[in-house]
């Protein structure tokens, strides 16, 4: 990896060689991938990237921590659409609005970007099995991306995991272990099994490479905006890995001279579960909160990557905003109706936050904004129905139709 200098601990500053199965620092701190931007500039440019015909996240290889010889994993991840929707800009009262639909990825969430990276690094490191402990998008994306690459997966879920999510894992052929215990016990069993059998570890706050996969959403936004970022980029925040990855992406482009302006981040969390935003607003260190929002993907009371996320929001001169579940459901309807994009609850929380900031007068009229939808609403149809209401039930009769629907 000529483009990577080393891994560096964000806590103590210790540096490590960037081996493909590196995890955390000896001090327990999370490692960051440090790039050689001079080297990147010498081998790449905005023009070179824009002329690539590889319409996946792997078009950004100069900015990705993989060996030159590593093949792109099989599933086509990334290059999700960025839609400009003038209607929304008019409605919310600012200049320009873009929506990035990342629910269009192969397993229908942004997490595919991290899992594609996990598959690439696991193969580099010579592993044939990857494991993780999760019931959400990270697990299903790992199972799908691994299946396509012929890699085995062990997924540990607590017994309370919803059957729908477990089904997706089983369809992709993961060995799914339903643990009769709580999440903590599930995590501990997965850790013991990973240690015992030496599998590749896909845990976003432990594995330093996964965030580098996630950052490709930011690289895409920049390229799709012709390397001129909007003033703001809004997204939902759970354990903090995604927003930290997004910021890393923008910073990488800035350091390499591909963009000359950084956006301000808008961090949207639930009013009930917002440990990261609370820390940003109070200036205190983050502390755990209860997990209480229907947006399950961001219902994270103990965020694993809080420090990186908080640093990113503050460094960007960003905004932190909290929304209610009702505001999240309204955002599902509004992005569906105005943009033709059906996002899962956590997927549209960034939009909900943006809307609330507009109502509070915090977004200037001349502002330009990008909002990321992080996951597809088909992953959570129960909340889709909750947001959308019920269809009109009729007998097959035109008269009944006229009287009921067209009245």
Q: What one-character DSSP code corresponds to residue 378?
A: G
Query: Helix, strand, or coil here: 178?
Result: strand
Q: What is the 3-state secondary structure (H, E, C) of 348-375?
A: HHHHHHHHHHHHCCCCCCCCEEEEEECE
List 3, 58, 88, 101, residue binding a second copy (CB under 8 A): 101
List 40, 147, 306, 367, residue binding a second copy (CB under 8 A): 147
Where does this chain touch a second copy (CB under 8 A) — which range of 177-185, 220-228, 231-239, 268-276? 177-185
Whole-angstrom distance, CA of residue 158 vs CA of residue 185:
8
Whole-angstrom distance, CA of residue 125 vs CA of residue 8:
20
Span 226-265, contacts to a second copy by CB under 8 A: none
List 181, 206, 231, 311, residue binding a second copy (CB under 8 A): 181
- Around Cβ 150, how many Cβ atoms within 10 Å? 10
List 14, 34, 170, 262, residue binding a second copy (CB under 8 A): 170
List 13, 164, 257, 288, residue binding a second copy (CB under 8 A): 164
Where does this chain touch a second copy (CB under 8 A) — which range of 22-30, 161-169, 214-222, 274-282? 161-169
89 binds a second copy (CB under 8 A): no
Phi, psi angle pair for 198, to nearest 5°:
65, 40
168 binds a second copy (CB under 8 A): yes
| Per-residue interface string for the shown chain with a second copy, residues 17-56, x marking contact by CB under 8 A | --------------------------------------x-
Calculate the dihedral angle through the C-alpha atoms of 20, 374, 77, 245, rounding to the nearest 10 degrees. Answer: -30
How many residues sit in the footprint of a second copy (CB under 8 A)? 81
List 178, 278, 301, 314, residue binding a second copy (CB under 8 A): 178
378 binds a second copy (CB under 8 A): yes
Q: Is 386 exposed, middle or buried (0-12, 13-18, 19+ CB in 10 A)?
A: middle
Helix (H) or strand (E) holding 15: strand 15-16
Span 323-342, contacts to a second copy by CB under 8 A: 332-333, 336-342
List 26, 28, 365, 393, residue binding a second copy (CB under 8 A): 393
Where does this chain touch a second copy (CB under 8 A) — which range of 82-90, 239-247, 296-304, 355-363? 82-90
List 240, 345, 347, 377, residue binding a second copy (CB under 8 A): 377
Smallest separation, CB 373 to a second copy (Å): 11
Smallest separation, CB 403 to a second copy (Å): 12
| Per-residue interface string for the shown chain with a second copy, residues 185-224, x marking contact by CB under 8 A | xx-xx--xx--xx---------------------------
Sheet with 31-35: list strands edge to edge: 15-16, 4-9, 31-35
List 65, 144, 245, 347, residue binding a second copy (CB under 8 A): 144
List 163, 226, 283, 365, residue binding a second copy (CB under 8 A): 163
- Measured at the CA of 206, the angle between CA 259 and CA 276, to 5 degrees, comes to 65
288 binds a second copy (CB under 8 A): no
Query: Helix, strand, or coil here: 147?
Result: helix
76 binds a second copy (CB under 8 A): yes
Whole-angstrom distance, CA of residue 345 vs CA of residue 375:
8
Closest CB to a second copy among 6 and 177? 177
Residue the block writes with tokens 């927003």: 243
- Around Cβ 44, how many Cβ atoms within 10 Å? 18
If we measure between CA atoms, which residue out of 93, 107, 57, 86 comes closest to residue 344?
Answer: 107
CA distances from 265 to 15, 87, 233, 297 (A): 28, 22, 5, 19
């Amino acid at each position: 990896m000529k483009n990577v200098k080393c891994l560096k601990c964000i806590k103590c500053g210790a540096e490590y060689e960037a081996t493909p199965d590196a995890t955390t620092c000896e001090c327990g701190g999370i490692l960051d991938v440090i790039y050689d931007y001079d080297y990147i500039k010498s081998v790449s440019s905005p023009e070179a990237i824009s002329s690539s015909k590889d319409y996946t996240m792997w078009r950004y290889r100069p900015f990705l921590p993989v060996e030159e010889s590593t093949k792109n994993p099989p599933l086509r991840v990334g290059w999700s659409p960025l839609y400009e929707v003038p209607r929304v800009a008019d409605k919310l009262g600012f200049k320009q609005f873009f929506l990035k639909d990342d629910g269009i990825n192969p397993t229908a969430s942004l997490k595919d970007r991290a899992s594609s990276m996990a598959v690439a690094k696991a193969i580099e490191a010579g592993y044939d099995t990857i494991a993780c402990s999760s019931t959400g998008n990270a697990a299903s994306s790992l199972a799908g991306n691994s299946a396509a690459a012929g890699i085995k997966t062990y997924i540990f879920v607590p017994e309370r995991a919803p059957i729908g999510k477990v089904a997706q894992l089983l369809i992709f052929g993961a060995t799914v272990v339903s643990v009769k215990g709580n999440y903590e016990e599930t995590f501990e069993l997965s850790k013991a099994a990973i240690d015992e059998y030496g599998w590749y570890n896909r845990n976003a706050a432990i594995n330093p490479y996964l965030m580098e996969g996630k950052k490709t959403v930011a690289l895409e936004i920049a390229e799709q905006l012709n390397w001129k970022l909007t003033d703001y980029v809004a997204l939902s925040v759970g354990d903090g890995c995604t927003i930290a990855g997004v910021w890393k992406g923008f910073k990488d482009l800035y350091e390499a001279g591909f963009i000359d302006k950084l956006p301000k981040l808008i961090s949207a969390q639930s009013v009930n579960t917002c440990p990261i935003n609370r820390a940003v607003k109070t200036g205190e260190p983050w502390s755990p909160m209860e997990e209480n929002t229907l947006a399950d993907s961001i219902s994270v009371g103990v965020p694993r990557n809080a420090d990186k996320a908080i640093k990113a929001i503050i460094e960007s001169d960003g905004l932190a905003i909290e929304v209610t579940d009702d505001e999240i459901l309204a955002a599902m309807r509004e992005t569906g109706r105005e943009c033709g994009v059906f996002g899962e609850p956590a997927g549209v929380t960034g939009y909900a936050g943006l809307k609330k900031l507009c109502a509070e007068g915090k977004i200037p009229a001349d502002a330009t904004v990008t909002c990321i939808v992080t996951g597809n609403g088909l992953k959570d149809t129960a909340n889709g129905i909750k947001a959308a209401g019920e269809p009109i039930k009729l007998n097959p009769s035109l008269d009944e139709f006229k009287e009921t629907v067209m009245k």
